[in-house]
Amino acid sequence: MAAQNEVWTLAEIRDGKLHSVSYELLSWGRSLADSLKAPLVSVVLGDASDLPSLFEYGADKVYHVSAPELKHYLVDSQVSVLKEMVEKYEPQIFISSATTQGRSTMPVLYAKLGVGLTADCTGLSIQDGSLLQTRPAIGGNVMADIMTPLRRPQMCTVRPKSKRPLPRDARRKGEIVGYTPQKSSLASLLTFLGFEPESRVGLPIQDAEVIVAGGKGMKGTKNFALLDELAGLLGGSVGASRSAVDLGWAPASSQVGLSGKSVTPRLYLACGISGAVQHLAGMSGAETVLAINTDAEAPIFGVADLGVVGSVLEILPRLIGDLKKSSKGVSK
Ligand SMILES: Cc1cc2nc3c(=O)[nH]c(=O)nc-3n(C[C@H](O)[C@H](O)[C@H](O)COP(=O)(O)OP(=O)(O)OC[C@H]3O[C@@H](n4cnc5c(N)ncnc54)[C@H](O)[C@@H]3O)c2cc1C
């Protein structure tokens, strides 16, 4: 198969449907494919009922592998199938999301292919025909530009929610090309035992429209119950700074920031969070930021649309009380 210099993105499936990161990746890939005048391809391993939606969000073509062995994500079979496909089609760029799946697949795949991988990119562009990958380095204090001009494909991951999907265009159509891998590639040494979702208030933070996030200023695990209550009233989810997670006040899955998750809520309520650069790296995509902090000089106020100088331990109970009163008023 002659190289077509395609730009690839790796779609992900949850519960038989495409996961939203599949569309976010097409948003990244579309501008690269346009700059290179190359086809944009979404690679789908497993069955999803909504494959044609990939065209509506920017894909020109879909490579689809349907096999019962791919029903559940197993890293070794996924890597073997992708390696086979990369060797056959020779894409010039391959982008995945830095989800748990992407972070498991891509490092094994790039090592087996003997190419390069830049993880957690925050910017991608084309320079002199090659992929310019930008990512924070040295604890987020510098932005590093990385290129791998001598190897193909140029591989990278981008943070989930680091770009919004393109507007849906129902008129866009494309071609779904089936691919049948070798039986040996589908074999796995792993056995899928089951999936247990985490118990939490609201949606996973990366999907939440409202996030009530707490930091070290919350003073203890007990006070995180205030954040749970407020998030429940606002129909949101609870986030946390790394300090709060390190102290065991919140689960690692709720960490916002450079070594946590990137979030793009409509409202981000930062409670007792100083606003370190590594925290801001994860929440700079929030539409509106409201911060409560006792220190008027805290850096979080530099990015806040609305700042309240005061103690969360006094302000949050009052806010919760007022919201409860006003919701009673509304239901009367
Ligand atoms: C490589 C690297 C990666 C990192 N990744 C992340 C990351 O992903 N996410 C992240 O968050 N951090 C990350 N960090 C850590 C980051 O540098 C900060 O240490 C951390 O964000 C600080 O958390 P904090 O704001 O909760 O705590 P602090 O910085 O200690 O701030 C606590 C704030 O609470 C305020 N406060 C105190 N009492 C009250 C009160 N009663 N009411 C209201 N406010 C009060 C204080 O004025 C202060 O501003 C990373 C660091 C490194 C080096």
CA atoms within 13 A on the CB side of 197: 8
What confidence tier does 200 reach under pLDDT thresholds 50, 70, 90? low
Locate 225 and state its tokens.
Answer: 């119950």
Query: Does residue 66 carry a pLDDT above 70?
Result: yes
pLDDT tens per residue, range 87-141: 999 999 999 999 989 999 999 999 999 999 999 998 999 999 999 999 988 766 7
DSSP 8-state secondary structure symbol assigned to residue 217: G
- Euclidean distance between CA atoms 43 and 45, whole angstroms: 7
CA atoms within 13 A on the CB side of 154: 22
For every residue of 108-139, DSSP letters joined together read HHHHHHT-EEEEEESEEEEETTEEEEEEEETT
CA 140 to centroid of ligand 1, rounded, Å = 14
Query: Under CATH, to which class is 205-331 assigned?
Result: alpha beta
Nearest CA to ligand 1 atom 49: 274
pLDDT tens per residue, range 232-244: 999 999 999 999 9
Nearest CA to ligand 1 atom 1: 139
Q: What is the pLDDT of residue 329?
A: 56
Q: 7-186 belongs to which homologous superfamily?
A: HUPs (3.40.50.620)
Pocket of ligand 1 from Cβ distances under 6 Å: 139, 215-217, 241-244, 255-260, 272-274, 276, 278-279, 282, 292-295, 298, 311-313
**To test the ligand 1 pocket, which listed residue (141, 159, 273, 283) has its Cβ within 8 A of the most ligand atoms?**
273
CA 13 to centroid of ligand 1, rounded, Å = 34
Nearest CA to ligand 1 atom 30: 216
Are the C-beta atoms of residues 157 and 97 closer than 8 Å to each other? yes
Fill in the amino acid letter for 225. A
Domain residue spans in the chain?
A: 7-186, 205-331
Nearest CA to ligand 1 atom 37: 217
**Burial of residue 10, with CB atoms counted within 10 A of its CB: 0-12 exposed, 13-18 middle, 19 or more buried:** buried
